Amino acid sequence: MITGVTGQVARPLAISLARDNDVVGAARFTDGTARQELEAAGVRCVPVDLVAGDVAGLPGDADFVLHFAVAKTNDWEIDLAANSGGLAALMEHHREAAAFLHCSTTGVYRPEGHRVFAEDGPLGDNHGVWPFLRTYSICKIAAEATARWGAQRFALPTTIARLSVPYGDGGGWPAIHLHMMLSGSAVPVHTDAPSVYHPIHQDDIAAMVPRLLGAASVPATTVNWGGSEAVSIEEWCGYLAGLTGIEARFEPTVHTIDSVQIDTTRMHALIGPTTVPWREGMRRMAEARYPDKVR
């Protein structure tokens, strides 16, 4: 059972898993095209309302639950209700599952320059600097607390995976940067350069999910989840510029998120390293999205 199944991360994951598994996908399904693609791939789609905690339509006998849904309306009441209350309802409904994966974000870490964040690092409002995501980091922190509570309350083995920068043929932050560059726009980067993250390709996400489920425990296991290679925005934009023959221009500002480099020690011990080199993955992304632009 996969929530947020119409999203950038969960959609290709569900399609991949449906080749060998009975997959139920949950979302609001406001995008009819996405639902048609999922159903054509063998995913059984079930509408849910996490704001209201309405998950009754989901089968209660799922072996594994992958929770990728996130509310980002910028309305505090709605987003807290969906991201925390909806998660509690979901864990209660699936309390007999063998394992529960809650996808969190490295955006829960409090910005501290170029600190490399281990899982016990300080938490804070990373994304509040972006007006369009002012609820995001705080709601993700609240959701982690809910997932820990649910794991112990229902004796439900749980993994909380703090995802860095996902990308692939379906898009992602690097794809947004490439679109900006092709449109002649400058890419915002933090003044405390370089802006370092751990981009992870959708193929590695799919490959690592079974291992993340295998690491689920009570109390919940918390682990950073990103590409094994640390890469800056400046570096990946420069590479994409070389692929397309366009200029990479940057706009240093304090009105964007800080660098979030993660310690991958626990990730490597639990689920191993990623296998898609970032240059290969980003070339594939660029070729899939702009085949006429890549040299």
| Residue entry with tokens 């339509």 | 57
Helix or strand holding residue 287 (H, E): helix 278-289
What pLDDT does residue 31 have?
82
The C-alpha angle with vertex 233 and arms to 227 and 277, in degrees rounded to 5, equals 35
What are the residue ranges of helices labelled H in the chain? 10-17, 32-40, 76-80, 86-93, 136-153, 173-182, 202-214, 233-244, 265-271, 278-289
CA pair distance 99, 218, nearest whole angstrom? 10
CA-CA-CA-CA torsion for 134, 137, 141, 146, nearest 10 degrees?
A: 60
Give pLDDT tens digits along the chain (295 positions). Answer: 999 999 999 999 999 999 999 999 999 998 889 999 999 999 999 999 999 999 999 999 999 999 999 999 999 999 999 999 999 999 999 999 999 999 999 999 999 989 999 999 999 999 889 999 999 999 999 999 999 999 999 999 999 999 999 999 999 999 999 999 999 999 999 999 999 999 999 999 999 999 999 999 999 999 999 999 999 999 999 999 999 999 999 999 999 999 999 999 999 999 999 999 999 999 999 999 999 999 8
CA pair distance 47, 25, nearest whole angstrom? 8
- Which amino acid makes up residue 127? H
- Is 187:256 a contact under the CB 8 Å cutoff? no
What pLDDT does residue 86 have?
98
Domains annotated on the chain, with CATH: 2-170+199-228+263-274 (3.40.50.720)
Burial of 32 (0-12, 13-18, 19+ CB in 10 A): exposed
